[in-house]
Amino acid sequence: MVKTSNERPQRESMDRRAAVVRLVATRRDGLIVTGLGSPSYDVYAAGDDDRNYYLWGAMGGAALVGLGLALAQPDRRVMVITGDGEQLMAMGSLATIAVAAPLGLDLFILDNEHYGETGMQISHTKRGVDLAAVAAASGFASTAVFQTLTELETFLASDGACAQAGPRLYVLKIATDSPPRALPPRDAVHIKNRFRANLGFSPN
C-alpha cells in the first residue's frame, strides 16, 4: 500500500533573524508585540527597545494584544511579530481583527511550518493551511506570502506594509533552523511598566 500525505513539498525559505531585522528597521515610531518563544528572541536580537512588548506566555494572545493596542493608539503603527503555531491557536482572532478594522495594525507571521517551542512537530501550515488566505477571507485589507528575503526586502523598500489602511497580515516563510536564543527581560511587570512609560502613562 502506498502511503499518502497532505504535507506540502519542500519550499524556498528565508533566514528568520535576517527577516526580523528587516521588519524592525521599518518600525519608525511603531510599537511591536511579539509572540512567545522564538519571535521574542528574534526581535530582542534585532535590538531591545522600550516600544517592544514581549509575551512570555499567553500562547495565541499576540494578535489580540496587538488589536487592543491598535485600537487604543490609533495614531501609532502596531506590528505583531509571531509564529505560525502561535497564530494557529488563535484563528478566531483574525475574524475579530478584520471586523474591528484597526487601520495601523500589521501581523507578521514567521512560518517555519513547525511548532518550534514544543519539539518541531509539523504544524497545520505544513499541511496546507494558508494563514494569509484565511485573513483575506476574513476581511483583512492586505495579505501576502513571502518565500524569500529578496521578496520581503522589495516589498518593504516600496513601503508596501504601510501603503494602505489595515489590518494587514503577511506570512514570512522562514527556515526551520534554530538560531541561538537571545532572551529579552523575563520580568513581565518591568516590560509592562517601561512600555507604558514610553506611551506616556504612569506605571500601575
Q: Does residue 119 or residue 167 have the better pLDDT?
A: 167
C-alpha cell read off for 144: 501576502
Confidence at residue 178, expressed as pLDDT on a 0 to 100 scale: 82
Q: What is residue 99's DSSP assignment?
A: H
Report the CATH superfamily, name and number, of domain 16-198: Thiamin diphosphate (ThDP)-binding fold, Pyr/PP domains (3.40.50.970)
Strands ordered across the beta sheet of 78-83: 52-54, 31-34, 78-83, 105-111, 168-173, 142-146
What is the reported pTM?
0.90
Write down the H helix ranges in the chain.
16-25, 38-45, 62-72, 84-88, 91-100, 131-138, 149-157, 188-198
Size (the chain), residues? 204
Average pLDDT over residues 180-202: 93
Please answer whether residues 78 and 31 qualify as being in contact, where contact means their C-beta atoms are separated by less than 8 angstroms.
Answer: yes
pLDDT tens sequence across 5-37: 555 555 668 999 999 999 999 999 999 999 999
Residue 113 banded pLDDT, cuts 50, 70, 90:
confident
One-character DSSP codes across 143-188? EEEE-SHHHHHHHHHTTGGGSS-S-EEEEEEB-S--PPP------H
Domain boundaries, the chain: 16-198
